[in-house]
Structure 1
């Protein structure tokens, strides 16, 4: 069966564009389907990205697209895919183009790079300050708020571990749990030794500054603590249901399971970036996309030279 493309890459973030670059250099016919803004779009900068530390997320993606231009077999276009159908020899994707018109494409293989969404607490201020002073990754943003008064939000073992990690960047760290913290005695001892205070009062809201930063965490009793930034590890959910709709295996945490070659449990369907298990960072997503592209090309080559 003839397909429009060798590989359909769904997602135009770091993982998707990196995969497209590698595949373009392999002279593969590639369509990158851009379905909208990336997860890190609200962030002021991308950090710890070799050669691009501090670049704005949109600027990084612009460079990524520019560097695809020399490769004539690679196409990037707006294409919000709503359904992916397994065919005898590939896949068919259907959805809408940038003008909202129905469109479709076929490909021998598909690489999902659709990412995840962070599920933030339903409290005033969290969404509004997300990416500026409500942060998820100390490796991405810890240096910018070093030596400032910081808060860490959450409960249980996870919040204790995150707070102890954050103390590498600041000696003034307070945990806010929004109710019972569900911390073990051992966790509380470790936090006390590090000088980390735990506040278990219910939270009313986060109060921002006129410039979009965090000013304080306000509790329901009217008291507050002044903080410059707040870190949390929010739950995540897949941005797209395409993998699950095809019956791909998910992990217990909701990530799309892949083998050592970046392939899901659906033959011909690959996945890369934040949507698969592992640490999450733009540079790591780009590396994941490149690795998946190599595996894709080698798999296609084996099928072609039998």
Structure 2
């Protein structure tokens, strides 16, 4: 067990948002401890896109470069470990890891991301982030003009189909059950020649994560190059909720325009606090969270 160490800020989560927050704080000479378990949600994704200066780079390479740059700031430290609990104290907060190491700080930033919940479809999880994708901005251009499926229903499916329609004119919506579109939505899909298939999917056939076809429960196969999927998610950790942070109806950590949670002294940034799931968005949110945590420390000390 490590000896308790005092920091100005503990950042739980050392991927893009967490590292960005650490840089803001390190440049203000704040003592920062980043605790990270090494499991980013995009670890299967081959390339990161829509992030200026890094377009097409491997996500792991971006994170590795960011970590190296952040740790050049002498007041920033990195701890490999899984945070499992947190407590409010008289002087701030403590975070305890799976191995029993306990650390304390005046402020907390959660950059813990989310966990996507994979459906029980053979081959689906192996393709996630490669050819089974969630975001047209992150992946759509690479599949432009290709046969594309949208695995969703109702408003979510209609939204995805409308966005992807500008990238390809070969779209099929797979609702995995009875379609739940309004009459107006159904008519719009027909107008743009987007068929709707209600049969459930039995398997995603692929080679190393690249889709060949989708096998339906009725035995039919549909060939696709990409499959957009709206899957449920859960928070990567319940520590924010245990401290009193509120969640939105969608399941994100509720934050204000400055990444502040409902608990004074606690911030959240990245995928855990917003639906814009991209590296660029995570970096921006992390930078703001770090700056706002520093402002709170300044206001309390000066």
Once the 2 structures are TM-superposed, how far is the Cα of residue 202 of structure 1 from its aligned partner?
Answer: 2.2
How has the CA–CA distance of structure 1 residues 103 and 3 changed in structure 2, closer, same or farther, with 3 Å as cutoff?
Answer: closer
Which among 248, 253, 277 is matched to residue 251 of structure 1?
A: 248
Counterparts of 1:261 and 1:184 in 2: how far apart (Å)?
A: 37
Counterparts of 1:182 and 1:119 in 2: how far apart (Å)?
A: 22
Q: Deviations over 1:2-57 (max 9, x none)?
A: 96100000001110000001110010000010122101111001101110111111
Counterparts of 1:76 and 1:214 in 2: how far apart (Å)?
A: 38
Counterparts of 1:166 and 1:222 in 2: how far apart (Å)?
A: 27
Counterparts of 1:276 and 1:68 in 2: how far apart (Å)?
A: 22
Q: Is 1:299–2:296 an aligned residue pair?
A: yes
Tell me the residue number matched to 1:219. Answer: 216
Once the 2 structures are TM-superposed, how far is the Cα of residue 161 of structure 1 from its aligned partner?
Answer: 1.3
Alpha-carbon RMSD:
1.3
Q: Deviations over 1:108-152 (max 9, x none)?
A: 100000011112221112111111110001100001111110000
Give the TM-score taking structure 2 as reference length: 0.96
Tell me the residue number matched to 1:264. Answer: 261
Any gaps of 5 or more consecutive residues in structure 2?
none
Written as runs of structure 1 = structure 2, the 5 A alignment for 1:186-205 is 186-205=184-203
Once the 2 structures are TM-superposed, how far is the Cα of residue 261 of structure 1 from its aligned partner?
Answer: 2.3
Matched pairs, number = 299
Tell me the residue number matched to 1:36. Answer: 38
Q: Deviations over 1:270-296 (max 9, x none)?
A: 111111134221101100000011111
Determine helix, strand or coil for the equivalent of 2:213: strand
Larger deviation, residues 22-31 vs 161-170 = 161-170
Tell me the residue number matched to 2:174. Answer: 176
Counterparts of 1:3 and 1:133 in 2: how far apart (Å)?
A: 43
Tell me the residue number matched to 1:239. Answer: 236
Q: Is 1:134–2:132 an aligned residue pair?
A: yes
Counterparts of 2:221 and 2:138 in 1: how far apart (Å)?
A: 27
Tell me the residue number matched to 1:287. Answer: 284
Larger deviation, residues 282-291 vs 219-228 = 219-228
Determine helix, strand or coil for the equivalent of 1:204: strand
Which among 6, 9, 13 is matched to residue 8 of structure 2?
A: 6
Displacement over 2 Å in runs of 4+: none
Once the 2 structures are TM-superposed, how far is the Cα of residue 213 of structure 1 from its aligned partner?
Answer: 0.8
